[in-house]
C-alpha cells in the first residue's frame, strides 16, 4: 500500500517555480575575434602515355630501298639512308620511341589560408 501511495505521489503533476533574476546592467557590448588557419597539402602526379614512334626527316638525303647493306649509307633500324649529292650539305634526324610512359610530372604544393573574423555585439535592456 505504501508503494502505491509513493507511485501516485510521483505521478501527480506539480508546478516548478524559479526565482526571477534581474541583471545589474542596462547596456553593454562584447568584442570577439576568431582566427583560423587552414593548410592544404596536395600532390598531383601526371603520367603521359604514348604509342611507339619512328620518324625521320632530313635534307639532301633519301632512303635506299635497293641496298642490302650499309656500304656508303647510314643504317637506322631496318632503313638505309643515303646522301643524294655529296658535294652539298645534308641533315638527318631520326626519332625512335617505344610505347609506354613518355613523361611523369609530380607537382607538390601547399596552400595556406588565414582567416580572421572580428565581431561586436551591442545589447541593452
Q: How far is CA 8 from CA 14, 16, 89, 118, in A?
A: 12, 18, 117, 56
What is the percent of the chain with per-residue pLDDT over 90, rounded to a whole number? 38
Say what the pTM is: 0.40
Mean pLDDT in order along the chain per 10 residues (125 residues): 69 72 78 95 95 86 67 61 89 88 94 95 83
Provide the β-strand partners of residue 100. 50
Q: Which residues contact 3 (CB under 8 A, 6 or more apart)?
A: none
pLDDT for the residue numbered 112: 96
- Cell numbers 524559479 correspond to 18
pLDDT for the residue numbered 116: 96
pLDDT for the residue numbered 124: 80
88: three-class secondary structure by DSSP = coil
DSSP assignment string, 65-122: SS-SS-TTSEEETTEEEEES-TTS--EEEEEEE-SEEEEEEEEEEEEEEEEEEEEEEE
pLDDT for the residue numbered 80: 78
pLDDT for the residue numbered 55: 81
pLDDT for the residue numbered 26: 74
- Cell numbers 517555480 correspond to 17
84: three-class secondary structure by DSSP = coil
Amino acid at each position: 500500500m505504501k508503494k502505491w501511495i509513493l507511485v501516485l505521489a510521483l505521478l501527480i503533476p506539480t508546478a516548478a517555480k524559479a526565482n526571477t533574476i534581474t541583471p545589474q546592467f542596462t547596456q553593454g557590448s562584447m568584442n570577439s575575434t576568431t582566427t583560423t588557419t587552414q593548410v592544404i597539402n596536395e600532390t598531383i602526379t601526371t603520367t603521359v602515355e604514348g604509342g611507339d614512334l619512328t620518324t625521320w626527316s632530313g635534307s639532301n638525303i633519301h632512303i635506299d630501298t635497293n641496298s642490302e647493306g650499309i656500304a656508303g649509307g647510314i643504317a637506322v633500324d631496318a632503313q638505309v639512308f643515303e646522301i643524294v649529292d655529296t658535294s652539298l650539305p645534308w641533315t638527318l634526324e631520326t626519332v625512335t620511341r617505344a610505347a609506354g610512359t613518355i613523361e611523369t610530372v609530380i607537382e607538390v604544393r601547399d596552400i595556406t589560408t588565414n582567416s580572421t573574423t572580428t565581431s561586436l555585439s551591442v545589447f541593452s535592456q
